[in-house]
Structure 1
Amino acid sequence: MLRGTTSYGIGADSYDTVLTPLESARAALLVERDRLDYVAAHLLVRICAARLAQVPPWSLVIDQRCPGCGATDHGKPFVRDHPGLSVSLSHTRGTVAAAAGWSVVGVDVETTAGFRYDRRLAERVLAPEEVAAVDAAPDPALAFLRHWVRKEALVKAGHGSLLGPTTAGSGAAGASRRVREWTAGDSGAVAAGVSEQPLTLLRAGDGPYGQPIPDDRPGGP
């Protein structure tokens, strides 16, 4: 999670100079712990987008637009003045994730701490074969969350819906969709990213929030 000043010149302690008024207002409504996660995710997505756009992260404005009603206070995030650059972000207690790409991307992260598997929920949001696989897993709670983040990432990338069962397995992604999953080594949180192009996993470099560097270790950070 981003705290203090990053090597990019932005940090969670000065977010009000980087985030939009809407983002800052939402952050102000949260308790401190949740606010830091929210801010970190919104700063991180700017860092990801800036790497592709080759501009300073603080120069980017992240807006939202609902494809259904057209409202700008919710919906899929996008980078103002950078058409074609897709972004996605997610945060959970103590862990954040973000993605950017020149094709549509989606990312989701969930914490495993304290999560209890609810089979009734699984039956509402997963396909029957997935429920069976979760039930048979050594750790059903972890197996369910891995299916869930994959599904959330797919939906954020415009594939499928959260309403009703859906097949979230990698095979369902199709030839044009690439799915990558990883586990945060420090917190155990699970995450998934979806893109139509190859996904490069980045982690913070040595030192506090250093430059992101490629990380292709099995399981990821």
Structure 2
Amino acid sequence: MDHEELIEKYFANSLNNDEQSMFDQLMQTNDTFREQVVYEAEVQKAITLNERQALKKKLQSFETKKPKRNYTVWYVAASFAVMLGIGFWTFSNDFDTNAVYEEYYQSYPNVVAPTVRGENSTDIKSEAFYTYDRGDYAKALTLFSKLYDTEKEDYSLFYKSLSLMELKRYDEALTSFEQFDLKKNNGFTPYVKWYKALTLVKLEQEEKALVLLQELANSTNPMQKMAKDIITDLN
């Protein structure tokens, strides 16, 4: 079986045991193969994000065909909000912020380690990614935290932060993201900026989020287009 077919079957979750063993061996020994897998994972992620953007545009086209709103209703709602001591525009911005987050957030795939675990595996890294891929983010958080405490590697801190986001522990996720040295500008940097910015959006810290998003929008990187799109939505 050639490498391209093997990679296709991996992402289709259709590898048999022999093919999985071959895949794992290549991931460990063949740099070119591993780079192909990482690239394909990024492509699939980009496709998913672009599909969501296409859906958004389609829904917006439907929205333009709707009759105009009755602004008397909005006036009454605003008056009622003032009576409760709540700023109407603050409420609107909160809603929009959450909507933007939900629209753009997409779980980041495992592009570091194969999603396989042996019955007698004691490899914490493999176990961490295995649990992450299964959606057991609480356990993944524990394992990635342990990995980062012992190794101080960027990948473990990144997936620790992502696990916190998946668990909706956004304040802790932000604290975790802030441990990154963004000046290093390695392969994780644009994704760290993207997910940190989304965390800031969720926490209603749009101004700080826009600083990171503008950095992404102004440089060539995998998240450049998405950064430009979300900046438009936030403004």
TM-score, L = length of structure 1: 0.27
Larger fraction in helix? 2
Larger fraction in strand? 1
Higher relative contact order (CA 8 A, sep 6+): 1
TM-score, L = length of structure 2: 0.26
